[in-house]
Structure 1
Amino acid sequence: MGIPADDAAAEFHDFFERHYAELARLAHMLTGESEGADDLAADALVAMWHRWDRVRAAEHPPAYARGVVANLARSRVRSAVRERRRIALFWATHSGWADDPDVPTVVDVQEALRTLPFRKRACVVLRHAFDLSERETALALGVSVGTVKSQTSKGIAQLERLLGARVSAELVGGRN
């Protein structure tokens, strides 16, 4: 038997107020798109509302919410990649334009993060931008702590190659 509807709505509203901004920021960092981050966070919260009885019974509802955002972001990124490939195929037959230049003069952090495979990016963002523990990150992504450790380490190494060790150390606060 579930909780009364008014109590559930109030509880969800409180959860929404406490976590919406964090979820939108996570969505932005995972997708690299500021425009769609709010929508993605809202979509995640709508999905959670539909399963609120199950979510509120979870051991860590905020970790569950981060996992929902991460899964939606992964789907959105994959869709965008597929769309870019279709567009690139179309333009490749019609012009000599290259959509991925080899020589960027400046690589900012968001561009560097976008180059990481999704799981590495998610681990780095959750560990260092959101300051989650390895365990919290593992819960959010539905992976083992060992996976979080290895993916974070590999992601940081890749960022160091792209941004330089000094910039990477500043980005992650000098910790691995």
Structure 2
Amino acid sequence: MALDDASAEFHDFFERHHAELARLAHLLTGEADTADDLAADAFVALWHRWDRVRGADHPVAYARGVVTNMARARIRALTRERRRIHLFWATLPGRAHHPDVDAVVDVRRALARLPFRKRACVVLRHALDLSEKDTALALGTSVGTVKSQTSKGMAELQRILGAQAAEELSGTRN
């Protein structure tokens, strides 16, 4: 395939899936600006591997996996940075122990309180309305793991939000 054909094909893929992948990144990270950056970075990575991506059985699932992995890496990096800042302030002489104000202020909404794997399963299944199979493809895991993590994630959301709010989130309201 000529470069122009590959470019056109990639451009079409970008146009069709950018909004979905940016929304996925936003739901996983809880940060709109970070989501835009992650989506852009994911498309750069996809372009560099475009021959492999377009040859995949499920190119969109591959792209979702790239976004999910980038979001996981971003969350881990932020967690490490918070720990370093906390350790720095905790070891200063003459300072009384104070709670990490940034962490207290930055209390995330219920979805962000879920562990990453559960959050990813809940977001892909309920926010993006993917099937269990497509969610498993995006996360590189089994359908059984998706079922288990989604169920556990929804149970935690029910505990955090209350049953009515969790039902509204999942669209299973009677």
Q: TM-score, structure 2 length as denominator?
A: 0.91
How far is the alpha carbon of 1:36 from its aligned partner? Answer: 1.1
Question: Which of residues 83, 86, 91 in structure 1 aligns to 2:84?
Answer: 86
Amino acid across the alignment from 1:61: P
Distance 2:122 2:98 in 1: 33
Contact 1:28 1:34 in 2 (8 A): yes
How far is the alpha carbon of 1:91 from its aligned partner? Answer: 2.6
Q: Per-residue displacement from partner, 1:95-120 (whole Å, max 9, x unpaired)?
A: 4331355xx9xx8xx61111111110
In structure 2, relative to structure 1, the CA distance for the partners of 1:95 and 1:23 (3 Å cut) is: farther
Distance 1:172 1:13 in 2: 32
Distance 1:113 1:127 in 2: 13
Distance 1:127 1:95 in 2: 45
Question: Which of residues 46, 53, 56 in structure 2 aligns to 1:55?
Answer: 53
Contact 1:91 1:97 in 2 (8 A): no
The answer for the alignment partner of 1:11 in structure 2 is 9
Amino acid across the alignment from 1:79: A
Distance 2:116 2:154 in 1: 13
Higher deviation after alignment, 92-101 or 76-85 = 92-101
The answer for the alignment partner of 1:31 in structure 2 is 29
How far is the alpha carbon of 1:90 from its aligned partner? Answer: 2.1
Q: TM-score, structure 1 length as denominator?
A: 0.90
How far is the alpha carbon of 1:173 from its aligned partner? Answer: 0.7
The answer for the alignment partner of 1:97 in structure 2 is 98
The answer for the alignment partner of 2:162 in structure 1 is 164
How far is the alpha carbon of 1:56 from its aligned partner? Answer: 0.2
Distance 2:122 2:78 in 1: 21
Q: Per-residue displacement from partner, 1:130-176 (whole Å, max 9, x unpaired)?
A: 0000000000000000000000000000111100011000000118x
1:38-77 superposed matches below 5 A: 38-77=36-75
Structure 1 SS opposite 2:130: coil
State percent identity of aligned pairs.
71
The answer for the alignment partner of 1:131 in structure 2 is 129
Q: How many residues align?
A: 167
Distance 2:170 2:7 in 1: 38
Structure 1 SS opposite 2:109: helix
Higher deviation after alignment, 144-153 or 84-93 = 84-93
Runs of 4+ in 1 over 6 A off after TM superposition: none
